[in-house]
Amino acid sequence: MKIHKRIHAVAPTRIDLAGGTVDIWPLYLFLERATTINLAIDLYAETVLEETSEEGRDPQIRLRAEDQSAELSFYWSEIEGVKPPPSLELHWKYLKYFLERKRRSGRFESLRGLTLSTRAKSPAGAGLGGSSTLSVSIIGALKVWCDGNLDTAIDGEKLVEITRDVETTVIKVPAGMQDYYGAMFGGLQILRWGAGGHERKSLSPELLNEMEDRLLLFYSGQSRNSGINNWALFKAFIDRQGAVREQFQGITGATHLLEANLAEKNWKGIGESIASEWSVRRGLAAGITTPEIDEAFSLALSLGATAGKICGAGGGGCFFVYLPEKNTALRESISASLSALPGIRSLPFRAARRGLTVEVTSLA
């Protein structure tokens, strides 16, 4: 097999500091200035796409999810009839989307073989937007394969829409938006959701550095399904069950407070804002937190942290704690103490200052 071109796409996951779940359409339309704040981190998802040819053979497609040991092979003429396993359904649907784009552009006749491989650093069910990040890396590689170029400043918003729509057909429940923005654009972002479009504000590198030094990330050892959790909250919101709408507005209010404290570099206030958001969120439904995570939060607070919050929809996955100061000894103490708890492990990270990046290597 001869490789003609290699396309390597990398996208970061994210820690949602406040305002998760309000990013699901159409929930944000019912809230006052619905806002999400997240920080992209270097637990990357990667896609490697290789154009190939094999002497005397028809072009073949190979889809691989390396971290799930899944592989699927077929020919271009068979793509419509393929029944991919769940671990490769996203790969197949994105490929079909861009294949149709190639057909419309008149470049379909020049197809070579294709090997599309993915891997992700984020643990499964971590609540860091890993599935959506993987989607962004796949779509970035396929955009370059199809069109020959990618500029996230120009193409990013449209690619977010495509990624959201295709992934929704796989998870089969409404998808939130923040994961795609973290993966596509990176950095520390304030995302304002609204009718007909969204506002995205990237905060300063200085502020990003400060937040990076004040956050510790952990994996609970318990995987969770964000689609199921978010769907229950979505239905409760739409059906006006209990005080869910008021609680969502409370989450939005805490996120606005975090935004104001970030602007003022009020480190104490930032912790209070995160704690306020978590206080409302954990009351949304049973099972959002777990006894093990509550124990970890209690220990972290007793050692000097001022806030903690589960990442994503809850029910397991990852959580973070916030420190009111840059203190190496305090970081090490909390990290070691929480990592000693059953099932808990530390996930060291650095902030990802850039979002999706794609590199192309021509080999023949």
Per-residue DSSP letters for 185-245?
Answer: H-SEEEEEEETTEEEEEEPPHHHHHHHHTTEEEEE-S----HHHHHHHHHHHHHTT-TTHH
Per-residue confidence at 226, pLDDT binned at 50, 70, 90?
Answer: low
φ/ψ (deg, to 5) at 357: -130, 145
- What pLDDT sits at residue 357? 98
State the average pLDDT over residues 14-33. Answer: 95
pLDDT band at 1 (very low <50, low <70, confident <90, very high): confident
In this predicted structure, the answer to whether residue 228 has a pLDDT above a threshold of 70 is no
The secondary structure of residue 347, as a DSSP letter, is: -
Whether pLDDT at 286 is above 90: no
**Shared fold status for 2-203+352-362 and 205-346:** no
What is the architecture of the domain spanning 2-203+352-362? 2-Layer Sandwich (3.30)
What's the pTM value of the predicted model, to 2 decimals?
0.94
Is the pLDDT confidence value at 224 over 70? no
- 168-176: average pLDDT: 88
For 205-346, which CATH superfamily applies?
GHMP kinase, C-terminal domain (3.30.70.890)
Confidence of residue 56 (pLDDT cuts 50, 70, 90): low
Return the pLDDT at 85. Answer: 95
Whether 118 has a pLDDT exceeding 70, the answer reads yes
Count CB-CB contacts under 10 A for residue 260: 13
Confidence of residue 3 (pLDDT cuts 50, 70, 90): confident
Q: How confident is the model at residue 174 (pLDDT cuts 50, 70, 90)?
A: confident
Question: Where are the domains positioned within the chain?
Answer: 2-203+352-362, 205-346
* Bigger pLDDT: 297 vs 124: 297
272 and 307 Cβ atoms separated by less than 8 Å: yes
Which structure tokens are listed for 280? Answer: 């409302």
8 Å CB contact between 188 and 351 = yes
Please give the mean pLDDT across all residues of the chain. 93
Arithmetic mean of pLDDT, 38-49: 98
| For helices 178-185 and 152-171, angle between their N-to-C axes, nearest 10 degrees | 140
pLDDT reported for residue 30: 95
- pLDDT, mean of residues 218-233: 77
Assess whether pLDDT exceeds 90 at residue 175: no
Residue-wise pLDDT tens digits, 295-350? 999 999 999 999 999 998 878 899 999 999 999 999 999 999 999 999 999 999 99
